[in-house]
Amino acid sequence: MRRRRLVEFNLLTGVVLGIVGFYVGWWLGHLVKAPSLDYFDDTGQNDIALFVAYFTGVVGFLVGLGFANYPVQRMLGKPPSLREKETEGIGRYFGLCTDHKVVGIQYLIGIGAFIFIGGLNAMLIRFELLRPTHLAWNGNNYLTLVGLHGTMMMGMMTSGILGPFANYFVPLMIGARRMAFPRIEALTFWLLMAAGTILMTALAFGGFPTGWTGYAPLSVQANMGMDAYIAFFALVGLSMTLLGLNMLATVITMRAPGLAWGRLPIFVWGTVSTSVLMLLAAPVLISTLFMLALDRTAQTGFFNDQAGGSPYLYENLFWIFGHPEVYILALPGMGIVLELLPVFSRKPLWGYRLAVTGLLGITLLSFLVWQHHLFVSGINADLRPFYMLSTELISLPTGFIFVCALGTLWAGRIRLTVPMLFALAWVFNFLIGGLSGVFLSDVPSDVTTHGSFFSMAHFHYTIMGGLVFAFFGAVYYWLPKMTGFELDERLGKLHFWVMFLAFNSTFGPLLVIGFLGMPRRVVTYAGYLQGANEWVSVSAFVLGASMLVFVANLVWSQVFARVPAGANPWGSKSIEFQLPSPVPVHDFDRIPTFGPDPYPYGGIEEAGFDGTRPAVSPARPTP
Partner 1 sequence: MWSRRGHGWRIAALTTIGTAIVLPLVVFVLGPNMPPGKGTPVATSQVTDNTVLLVVMTPFTVFILVYLGYALTAFRAKPGEEGLDGAPLRGHFRSQVAWLASTTAAVLFLAIFGTTELLADNGAGGGAGPNPVTKPGGAPLPVQVIGQQWEFTYRYPTYGGVETATLVLPVGRKIAFHVTSLDAIHSFWAYELGVKADANPGVDNIAYVETKKISTFHVRCAELCGLWHGYMSDTGHVVSDADFASWIAARKRQFAPVMKYLPKYSSSYNPDPTFRAG
> Closer to Cu ion at the Cβ: 323 or 347?
323
> Closer to partner 1 at the Cβ: 127 or 181?
127
Q: Contacts with ligand HEM in 487-506 (CB under 6 A)?
A: 506
Instruction: Give me the DSSP letters along 495-509.
Output: HHHHHHHHHHHHHHH
Binding status of residue 44 toward partner 1 by CB under 8 A: no
Q: Taking CB under 6 A as the rule, which mask of x and - marks residues 450-479 in contact with ligand HEM?
A: ------x---x--xx---x-----------
Contact residue for ligand HEM among 92, 101, 126, 458 (CB under 6 A): 126
Give the count of alpha carbons within 13 A of 485, CB side only. 14
Binding status of residue 504 toward partner 1 by CB under 8 A: no
Answer with the entry of ligand HEM, Cu ion, partner 1, none that 540 interacts with (C-beta below 5 to 8 A by kind).
Answer: ligand HEM
Radius of gyration of the chain (CA): 25
Beta bridge partners of 519: 452
> Closer to Cu ion at the Cβ: 294 or 443?
443
> Closer to partner 1 at the Cβ: 402 or 535?
402
Q: Contacts with partner 1 in 187-246 (CB under 8 A)?
A: 206, 209-211, 213, 215, 217-218, 221-223
Count CB neighbours of 72 within 10 A. Answer: 12
Instruction: Quote the DSSP letter at residue 89.
Output: S
> Closer to partner 1 at the Cβ: 112 or 517?
517
Q: Taking CB under 6 A as the rule, which mask of x and - marks residues 204-243 in contact with ligand HEM?
A: -------xxx------------------------------
Binding status of residue 423 toward ligand HEM by CB under 6 A: no
CB of 373 to Cu ion, least distance (A): 5
Burial of residue 387 (CB within 10 Å: 0-12, 13-18, 19+) is buried
- 202-210, 316-324, 395-403, 526-534 -> range binding Cu ion (CB under 5 A): 316-324
Q: Give me the sign of the Cα torsion angle 330, 331, 336, 338.
A: positive
User: 555: Cβ–Cβ under 8 A, 6 or more apart, which residues?
Assistant: none
> Closer to partner 1 at the Cβ: 471 or 570?
570
CB of 345 to partner 1, least distance (A): 6
CB of 142 to ligand HEM, least distance (A): 7
State the residue number with the nearest CB to Cu ion. Answer: 323
Contact residue for partner 1 among 140, 287, 300, 505 (CB under 8 A): 140
Cα–Cα–Cα angle for 567, 569, 570, rounded to 5 degrees: 125
Contact residue for partner 1 among 438, 548, 555, 615 (CB under 8 A): 438
For residue 582, cis peptide bond before it (omega within 30 degrees of 0)? yes
Task: Report the alpha-carbon distance of residue 223 to residue 403 in Å, rounded.
Answer: 48
Residues 243 and 163: beta-carbon distance below 8 Å: yes
Contact residue for partner 1 among 203, 414, 563, 567 (CB under 8 A): 414
Answer with the entry of Cu ion, partner 1, ligand HEM, none that 468 interacts with (C-beta below 5 to 8 A by kind).
Answer: ligand HEM
Instruction: Quote the DSSP letter at residue 183.
Output: H
Answer with the entry of Cu ion, ligand HEM, partner 1, none that 217 interacts with (C-beta below 5 to 8 A by kind).
Answer: partner 1
Q: Give me the sign of the Cα torsion angle 609, 614, 615, 620.
A: negative
Answer with the entry of ligand HEM, Cu ion, partner 1, none that 323 interacts with (C-beta below 5 to 8 A by kind).
Answer: Cu ion
Binding status of residue 520 toward partner 1 by CB under 8 A: yes
State the DSSP H helix or E strand holding residue 123, giving kind and residue range, or none if neither.
helix 100-128
Binding status of residue 495 toward Cu ion by CB under 5 A: no
Give the count of alpha carbons within 13 A of 319, CB side only. 16
Instruction: Quote the DSSP letter at residue 378.
Output: S
Contact residue for ligand HEM among 102, 153, 162, 172 (CB under 6 A): 153
Instruction: Give me the DSSP letters along 45-85.
Output: --HHHHHHHHHHHHHHHHHHHTTTHHHHHHHTT----SS-S
Q: Contacts with partner 1 in 384-403 (CB under 8 A)?
A: 384-385, 388-389, 392-393, 395-396, 399-400, 402-403
Residues 88 and 585: beta-carbon distance below 8 Å: yes
- 53-61, 238-246, 281-289, 322-330 -> range binding Cu ion (CB under 5 A): 322-330
Select from 214, 197, 128 the least CA-distant residue to 156.
Answer: 197
Q: Contacts with ligand HEM in 533-592 (CB under 6 A)?
A: 540, 543-544
Task: Report the alpha-carbon distance of residue 172 to residue 191 in Å, rounded.
Answer: 24
At residue 44, the 3 state secondary structure works out as coil
State the DSSP H helix or E strand holding residue 230, giving kind and residue range, or none if neither.
helix 225-253
Letter for the amino acid at 148? L
CB of 440 to partner 1, least distance (A): 10
Q: How far is CA 501 from CA 199, 515, 540, 542, 589, in A?
A: 31, 22, 11, 9, 45
3-state secondary structure 282-333: HHHHHHHHHHHHHHHHCCCCCCCHHHCCCHHHHHHHHHHHHHHHHHHHHHHH
Alpha helices of 442-571 — where are they, by DSSP H? 443-449, 453-462, 469-483, 489-515, 530-555
Binding status of residue 48 toward ligand HEM by CB under 6 A: no
Q: Contacts with ligand HEM in 504-543 (CB under 6 A)?
A: 506, 520-521, 540, 543
Letter for the amino acid at 17? L
CB of 317 to partner 1, least distance (A): 15
Contact residue for partner 1 among 381, 548, 585, 615 (CB under 8 A): 381
> Closer to ligand HEM at the Cβ: 157 or 285?
157
Task: Report the alpha-carbon distance of residue 387 to residue 391 in Å, rounded.
Answer: 6
Binding status of residue 34 toward partner 1 by CB under 8 A: no
Answer with the entry of partner 1, Cu ion, ligand HEM, none that 588 interacts with (C-beta below 5 to 8 A by kind).
Answer: none
Task: Report the alpha-carbon distance of residue 401 to residue 419 in Å, rounded.
Answer: 18
CB of 600 to partner 1, least distance (A): 8
Answer with the entry of partner 1, Cu ion, ligand HEM, none that 427 interacts with (C-beta below 5 to 8 A by kind).
Answer: partner 1
> Closer to Cu ion at the Cβ: 257 or 385?
385
State the DSSP H helix or E strand holding residue 560, giving kind and residue range, or none if neither.
none
Total residues at interface with partner 1 (CB under 8 A)? 102
At residue 573, the 3 state secondary structure works out as coil
Answer with the entry of ligand HEM, partner 1, Cu ion, none that 92 interacts with (C-beta below 5 to 8 A by kind).
Answer: none
Chain residues that interact with Cu ion, rule: CB under 5 A: 323
Q: Which spans of this chain sit near ligand HEM (rule: CB under 6 A)? A: 119, 122, 125-126, 146-147, 149-150, 153-154, 157, 211-213, 456, 460, 463-464, 468, 506, 520-521, 540, 543-544
